């Protein structure tokens, strides 16, 4: 059974949630966690994971997108109501442009390309202005997953910080001042008249 079919089977029997999986496109990478509330379709996920792995492959001592949990981070980004809808649509639109390019170049769907064809397509797309711009956006998300606080389920075991010998600031965020909590404060009705309210 090919890897992509293996995943398809798992999804069909409903056992994919939060299970670390090795994916077909990650032939030189570790297992990826598929988010429970995944925004992308499996075909879109295939494209994104291939590009993420090519942009930031796991190397000697360099954490790859599995250790960084980049795909989960991308999923969180796509679900974040505070992120501009046009920015999110742009990411998704880019996937369809890549799928179109696969059809134009190889007359095949992206999922049916072999590894070498995908590599060729990757290089071809990065030569296009739109492709470079889209990949740049992915890289920004990769960097966030590399260097943001592990509180956000990225940079697992501080693998990104450890690789770059980065010293985080003090105090690190916690559940009390989590991004989502602070966002909620922006709509809280409050009238403060006493210091004890703080």
Between 110 and 134, CB nearer to another protein: 134
Residues numbered 135-154 forming contacts with another protein, rule: CB under 8 A: 135-136, 139-140, 143-144, 146-149, 151-152
Distances (CA, A) of 47 to 25, 109, 121, 153, 191: 9, 10, 11, 22, 49
Pick between residue 35 and residue 131 the one whose CB is nearest to another protein: 131
Task: Find the binder of another protein among 2, 14, 107, 190 (CB under 8 A).
Answer: 190
50 contacts another protein (rule: CB under 8 A) = no
| b/e code 32-68 from CB counts within 10 Å (16+ = b) | bbbbeebbbeeebbbbbbbbbbbbbebeeeebbbbbb
Round to whole Å and give the CA distance between 133 and 115: 23
Size of the site for another protein (CB under 8 A): 56
Q: Give residues 163-182 in contact with another protein (rule: CB under 8 A).
A: 163-174, 176-177, 179, 181-182
Out of 17, 59, 79, 89, name the contact with another protein by CB under 8 A: 59
Would you say 28 or 112 has its CB closer to another protein?
A: 28
Using DSSP's 3-state secondary structure scheme, residue 66 falls into: helix
**String marking each residue 63-92 x if it binds another protein according to CB under 8 A:** -----------------x-xxxx-------
**What residues contact residue 170 under an 8 Å CB cut-off, 6+ apart?**
none
- Tallying the residues shown for the chain, one arrives at 198
Which uninterrupted H or E stretch holds 137? Answer: helix 129-147
Q: Which of these, 102, 134, 126, 169, lies nearest to 142 by C-alpha position?
A: 134
Positions in the binding site for another protein (CB under 8 A): 54-57, 59, 62, 80, 82-85, 126, 132, 135-136, 139-140, 143-144, 146-149, 151-152, 161, 163-174, 176-177, 179, 181-183, 185-195, 198
């Amino acid at each position: 059974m090919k890897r992509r079919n293996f995943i398809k089977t798992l999804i069909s029997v409903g056992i994919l949630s939060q299970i670390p999986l090795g994916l077909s496109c990650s032939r030189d990478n570790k297992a990826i966690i598929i988010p429970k509330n995944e925004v992308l379709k499996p075909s879109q996920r295939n494209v994104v994971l291939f590009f993420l792995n090519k942009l930031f492959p796991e190397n000697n001592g360099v954490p790859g997108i599995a250790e960084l949990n980049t795909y989960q981070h991308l999923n969180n980004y796509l679900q974040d109501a505070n992120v501009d809808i046009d920015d999110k649509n742009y990411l998704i639109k880019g996937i369809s442009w890549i799928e179109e390019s696969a059809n134009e170049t190889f007359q095949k769907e992206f999922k049916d390309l072999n590894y070498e064809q995908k590599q060729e397509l990757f290089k071809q797309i990065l030569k296009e202005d739109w492709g470079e711009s889209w990949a740049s956006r992915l890289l920004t998300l990769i960097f966030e997953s590399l260097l943001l606080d592990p509180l956000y389920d990225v940079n697992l075991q501080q693998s990104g910080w450890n690789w770059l010998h980065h010293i985080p600031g003090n105090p690190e965020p916690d559940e009390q001042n989590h991004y989502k909590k602070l966002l909620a404060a922006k709509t809280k009705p409050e009238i403060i008249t006493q210091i004890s309210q703080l």
